[in-house]
Amino acid sequence: MKEFKNVCVLKVFEPDEKTIAAIEKAANDRGVWADIKLADGDCSITVASERDEVAFNDAVKDIFALCGDKLYSDAGESLAEKVVETLAAAGKTVSVAESFTGGLICSRLVEVSGASAVLYEGAVTYSANAKIRRLHVKAGTLESYGAVSKQVCAEMLDGLVSTRMSDFAVATTGCAGPDTDEFGTPVGRCYIGVADRDKKEICEIDFDEERNGLRRHAANTALWMLLRFAENIK
């Protein structure tokens, strides 16, 4: 990238096509340069200007407004970096239970310096037996609803929260393919949950991506959900 006098890197999670088009137009209208990169739900917007600082500041202000509450950083931080920063500032910790994401969430957190202050533990409970033994998911829940279900995700969260060793819990379970499971769960269906000792939030999401693409997207979504959940805790 060429040298610019004024540069700002904004990070946004899952902006839609309409928002991206509006951001491009806002930059063009102000006569500044904007580069937008979107990967696995995570979007990086680099805004730059060679000389006109007023136009640059106006463009950044316009883009801020367009991104709304999906904007999570104005300093180019990754989702994992922002999570570590936010939890560390609040003195909070998190435990993670992953099924189809296979450790991606913990790996991304551990890549960040200072992760030891916030990551209490991570468990890859890939099999049904691991979910039962490690997280105390009920065998009856697995038999009735299948491993890829809101009910199992909820019990995975409960299994982490019940130890009372960390402030927050994150859990993922999904069907990464290439085939559906015995319950006919569509490939790409996943459940991602976050919780503390008082409440939990679980999202059902259908990703239309290849196996490892949907795993990366799900890991990013889990970090985004954790960030928003933690920011809303008083």
234 residues of the chain, pLDDT tens digit each? 456 789 999 999 999 999 999 999 999 999 999 999 999 999 999 999 987 889 999 999 999 999 999 999 999 999 999 999 999 999 999 999 999 999 999 999 999 999 999 999 999 999 999 999 999 999 999 999 999 999 999 999 999 999 999 999 999 999 998 999 999 999 999 999 999 999 999 999 999 999 999 999 999 999 999 999 998 865
**pLDDT at site 129:** 97
**pLDDT at site 2:** 59
209: region left, alpha or beta (phi > 0 left; psi from -120 to 50 alpha):
beta
**pLDDT at site 52:** 82
Task: Tell me the two tokens of residue 136.
Answer: 């105390």
User: Contact, 132 vs 157, CB < 8 A?
Assistant: no
| Architecture of the structural domain at 6-73 | 2-Layer Sandwich (3.30)
**pLDDT at site 233:** 67
Name every residue whose Cβ is closer than 8 Å to that of residue 196 and which is 6 or more positions away in sequence.
161, 167, 168, 169, 229, 233
Pairing of strands 168-174, 119-124: unpaired
**pLDDT at site 128:** 96
| C-alpha to C-alpha distance for 149 and 182, rounded to whole angstroms | 12
| C-alpha to C-alpha distance for 50 and 130, rounded to whole angstroms | 56
Task: Report the top-level CATH class of 79-231.
Answer: alpha beta
| C-alpha to C-alpha distance for 72 and 200, rounded to whole angstroms | 21
CATH 3.30.70.260 domain span(s) along the chain = 6-73
**pLDDT at site 5:** 83
User: Contact, 48 vs 32, CB < 8 A?
Assistant: yes
Q: What is the dihedral of CA 111, 115, 118, 120, to 10 degrees?
A: 70
CATH 3.90.950.20 domain span(s) along the chain = 79-231
